[in-house]
Structure 1
């Protein structure tokens, strides 16, 4: 699957143009809107590959692309903020423990120890939440790309049935390997000042799309199956 994901974008008709546009958008990502457009493209990759269409999308219909990206951005933001909030609470407890401990005396020392222990526990909890977020986010993005509804990215029960499947874990690990390989390539390129860093953005886009293709193919195997609609019409009575 790794080999297929690396060939995914290269086999497209407009591969060079797509990579150039994606890299330029990442270069301008501090302006926020370009990064949202990249997320919109990733959403299209997720939807297409999940539906069995392996032809890479092109950058077009920019208004719709921005809307799709905004939905993906909202999902990514929420899953990123949760661990940050826990870390913030841990920092508050840590500062409080330092203040109490500096007060001196047995009471201050005990209070500082308790506060420090709570801060450590919260920091560990934040780390756990962060790891869970990294694992669930691709499934959430695939769900939103599939249905077009932001709420599906937070349907805990439905997502749970997906992320607990072995096929999803395998797909996630494969996508992670692709991203890490891209990161290593970027690290090598960054040795060259400026130009290497800029070239790394194009590699980053390529790796991001390849990883999205892996998640899309995985989503095709693990996506929840919609229940068949039931016939609510009353049965006709036989004529007497």
Structure 2
């Protein structure tokens, strides 16, 4: 699956132009809108590969691309903010514990110790939530790309039926390996000042698309099956 994902974009008719545009958008990603456009492209990759279409999309219909990217951005933002919120609570308790402990006395020291331990516990919970968010986010993005509805990215019941499957875990790990490999390549290229960093953005885009292709193929196998709506209404069923 990993080798096929690395060939996915390369086998496209406009591979060079697609990578060029994608890299330039990542270069301008601090402006927010370019990063949303990249997410829109990723959504199209997810939808296409999940539908069995292995032809890489091209950058076109920019208005629709922006809308698709905005939906993916909203999902990604929510799954990213939740761990940050938990971590912020841990920081507040940590600071409070430090203030209590600095008050002196056995009571203050004990209060500081308890507060610090509680802050550490919350920090560990934040780490677990963050890892969980990283695991769920690709499935949520695939769900939104598949249906076009942002709400499907937060349908936890349906998502659980996906992320609890071994096939999803395998696909997720494969995509993670591709992203990690791309990050390592970016790190190597960054040794060269400026030019290396810029070149790394194009590698990063290529790896991101390859990982999205893996998730799309995986989604095709594990997506929730909609209830069959062709059953006759109760009044139409023959009496027994």
1:43-71 CA-to-partner distances (Å, cap 9, x unmatched) read 00000000000000000000000000000
Flag structure 2 segments of 5+ consecutive residues without an equivalent.
none
Aligned pairs (5 A) from 1:54-203: 54-203=54-203
Flag structure 1 segments of 5+ consecutive residues without an equivalent.
none
C-alpha distance in 2 between matches for 1:224 and 1:87: 32
CA-based RMSD of the aligned residues comes to: 1.2
CA deviation after TM superposition for structure 1 residue 152, in Å: 0.5
C-alpha distance in 1 between matches for 2:238 and 2:141: 48
CA deviation after TM superposition for structure 1 residue 236, in Å: 8.7
- Does residue 204 (structure 1) correspond to residue 212 (structure 2)? The answer is no
C-alpha distance in 2 between matches for 1:228 and 1:165: 22
Runs of 4 or more consecutive aligned structure 1 residues displaced over 4 Å after TM superposition: none
C-alpha distance in 1 between matches for 2:112 and 2:238: 78
Count how many residue pairs are aligned between Structure 1 and Structure 2: 238
TM-score for both structures, normalised by structure 1: 0.97
C-alpha distance in 2 between matches for 1:106 and 1:187: 49
C-alpha distance in 1 between matches for 2:27 and 2:236: 62
C-alpha distance in 2 between matches for 1:67 and 1:233: 40
C-alpha distance in 2 between matches for 1:226 and 1:11: 33
C-alpha distance in 1 between matches for 2:184 and 2:129: 26
1:231 alignment partner in structure 2? 232
Give the SS at the match of 1:91.
helix
1:14 alignment partner in structure 2? 14
Give the SS at the match of 1:234.
helix
Give the SS at the match of 2:235.
coil
CA deviation after TM superposition for structure 1 residue 106, in Å: 1.1
2:36 alignment partner in structure 1? 36
CA deviation after TM superposition for structure 1 residue 231, in Å: 2.2
Give the SS at the match of 2:191.
coil
C-alpha distance in 1 between matches for 2:238 and 2:101: 82
